[in-house]
Amino acid sequence: MTATAAPPSPSTGAPRRATTTRLLTHEWLRTRGPLGTLFGLIVLIGVLGSLLGASGWPVLSEFGLAAGMLAAVIAVPAVQLTLAADYWRSGYGRTGYFTHSLPIRGSRIYWAKLAWAMLASLAAIVLTVMLALLAWWANAQRSGGSSPSWSTLTAAWSTVTDVTPGWMVAAGIALVFGSILVWPVHYYFSISIGHERRLAGLGAGGPIVVFVLLYVATQALSLLGMFLIPLGVGEADGETLGIVRFDLFSELAAGASASNNVMPIGFVIALVVLAVFCLWRTARSWNHKVALG
């Protein structure tokens, strides 16, 4: 089954198109209930857990602090998995026929769903930072350590920027965000490819098989990238970080005497290429290869 072509407008004769804003609004209206409930539960667990952790009560304090930290850690993956389940259900479940019968090119629906997942993930990242700071404060109250403050945060930032060029700090921040936001790309790729005609007979097992294969490919390409691109981040000029040569063959041959102060970056390029492939292939699947049961 392929996406239906957009019908022409009766007034102008031009194809009618649903704007990205309208599709995003639809995603918001359709998922605001589950996402609101999820965000509310995470905030409740995080705040109550941290307050309990700050109380200093025996046993309960440790339990509360653990709950507060857990809420911060699971916020992003919980939101992304909730939206992945919605992507599966709305694209290939009971409402799949309705979604693919819309007079909109399939790839446009996919981009809207992915953009909404990115926006929700960014909101979850903000929540993670807030809950992590709250858990930090609770731990300081319990143990007598330093609480998070503007001076503490600026001192940590100064320590990083003193030894790291500005472009590398920006690249590092982009890499951190990319490593988080790439998960919806992988989830949606696995679900869409797993529902194509050649894997449709596996039912729910199709997306799982694709996800496992994608994970194996990710690990293999990361290793291949480090072998083929002998570069890393290490001390380039005195105590300043920069791009240095990193030969993985030589490091493996060196064994216990290998250098441990260089972070290889070849895997980053391989993962970017893989993410671009997943984006292209999933959009193509929405346009040409949908096979609903």
- Residues 164-222 pLDDT 10s: 888 888 999 999 999 999 999 999 999 999 988 888 778 888 999 999 999 999 999 99
In this prediction, residue 1 has a pLDDT band, given cuts at 50, 70 and 90, of: very low
For 23, residues 6+ apart whose C-beta sits below 8 A from its C-beta are: 104, 108, 109, 112
Would you state the pLDDT for residue 12?
47
DSSP state of 230: -
In this prediction, residue 242 has a pLDDT band, given cuts at 50, 70 and 90, of: confident
Smallest Cα–Cα separation from 55: which of 138, 147, 149, 134? 138
Would you state the pLDDT for residue 96?
74
- Report whether pLDDT(259) > 70: no
Distance CA 165, CA 36 (A): 40
Contact 275, 241 (CB under 8 A): no
In this prediction, residue 11 has a pLDDT band, given cuts at 50, 70 and 90, of: very low
Task: Work out the angle at residue 133's Cα, subtended by the Cα atoms of residues 128 and 134, and round it to the nearest 5 degrees.
Answer: 95
Range from 31-35, 233-237, 241-245 that averages highest in pLDDT: 31-35
Would you state the pLDDT for residue 64?
93
- Report whether pLDDT(230) > 60: yes
Q: What percent of the chain has a predicted confidence (pLDDT) above 70? A: 90
Instruction: Report residue 91 as tokens.
Output: 């694209």
Please compute the mean of the pLDDT values over residues 214-238 and round it to a whole number.
Answer: 87
Smallest Cα–Cα separation from 84: which of 124, 42, 114, 41? 114
Distance CA 254, CA 249 (A): 9
Would you state the pLDDT for residue 17?
54
- Residues 116-126 pLDDT 10s: 999 999 999 99
Quote the mean pLDDT of the chain: 86
- Report whether pLDDT(143) > 50: yes
Would you state the pLDDT for residue 23?
87
Please compute the mean of the pLDDT values over residues 121-137 and round it to a whole number.
Answer: 95
Least confident of 46-55, 90-99, 266-275: 90-99
In this prediction, residue 261 has a pLDDT band, given cuts at 50, 70 and 90, of: confident
**Comparing 63 with 4, which gets the higher pLDDT?**
63
Please compute the mean of the pLDDT values over residues 50-76 and round it to a whole number.
Answer: 92
In this prediction, residue 265 has a pLDDT band, given cuts at 50, 70 and 90, of: confident
pTM: 0.84
- Residues 99-121 pLDDT 10s: 777 778 888 999 999 999 999 99
